[in-house]
Amino acid sequence: MTANALVVGMQPHFVAMRVAGLTALFVAAGSLLAAERSLTAHQAGALAVLLAAGMLTAHVAWMRAGPAGRPSAEARLAGLFGLALLAPGLLLLFLQRPGLNETSFLFFEVSNSGGSRTLFALAAAAASLYAAGRHPRWLLVAPLALVGGIQFAISSGRSEASLGGGSWTRFLIFLVAIGALAGAGRLAGGAVERNLLVAAAVLAPLMFEAVPGRKGSLTAGLIGAAMLAGLAVVLRGRVTIGTGLGMLALALAVVSSVAAHGQSKTPAVVFALVGAALLAATYVRWAPDQASA
């Protein structure tokens, strides 16, 4: 057996060893952060970012060493573990005590300034990692973090019950972002398009949640219907698990809004009739030549 044949035969074992090694290092990093009680939040954040940098450096190295368009298992896992350390690390690094400048999420508050800086930094890191390693999954993280950062930024200086509270400004930001992602995806094609469309689909239900007074509002119901139709057009032929879940979330948000419309069954009947008509129309066989014969 030649040396090359031996290396090829050992390749699956090398991959398993690298995956196991990465997992062990991630567990060690998480355990270290959990056990180091003497650190302040900012110090713990800096340590988490440093540990994430090691994982992400390995991710980029493996991406550049492997064939284009075919990320290796170790490259994908290193990127996932790196992101799992980077996101909370940045949050701790930019942590600020909530005050008048906060957004409440159920039972906890987040500083708008700290939230925006965290997400802008995460967006910049994701874009840089894509530029360095060309893994298209970073194009899912980058736009979501960027839009989230903008949402926190426009709330800076005031307290809000929810980041998704009704606001036409937020609605328009989501609309522009979704349009830009869909357009850029169509131009790029391939894996880049798939990830950008998943990002657009994830933003769609958040966009509907930004409609002011959406509960029981006829206007909100019409907007939701238009958004569902628009998303169906954008995703035609490109429905994946990610984009499908985004459309499901939007549909459920519209259901919640429509159901509050005076407890009336009329909206449900209208949606049912439109849906049945659209499906039936796709099976109609137009044969003008036969009809005229």
The pLDDT tens digits for 143-172 are 999 999 999 888 876 666 665 567 889 999
The tokens of 2 are what?
A: 């030649």
CA angle (253, 259, 265) in 5-degree steps: 140
Predicted pLDDT of residue 121: 97
pLDDT, tens digit, for every residue of 107-148?
A: 567 788 889 999 999 999 999 999 999 999 999 999 999 999
Label residue 198 by pLDDT band (50, 70, 90). very high
- Beta strand segments in 72-126, E: 102-105, 108-111
**What confidence tier does 288 reach under pLDDT thresholds 50, 70, 90?**
low
If we measure between CA atoms, which residue out of 207, 197, 198 comes closest to residue 257? 207
Q: Which of 198-202, 229-233, 262-266 has the highest mean pLDDT?
A: 198-202
Model pLDDT, residue 186: 92
3-state helix, strand, coil in the chain (%, to 5): 75, 5, 25
Per-residue pLDDT, 9 = 47
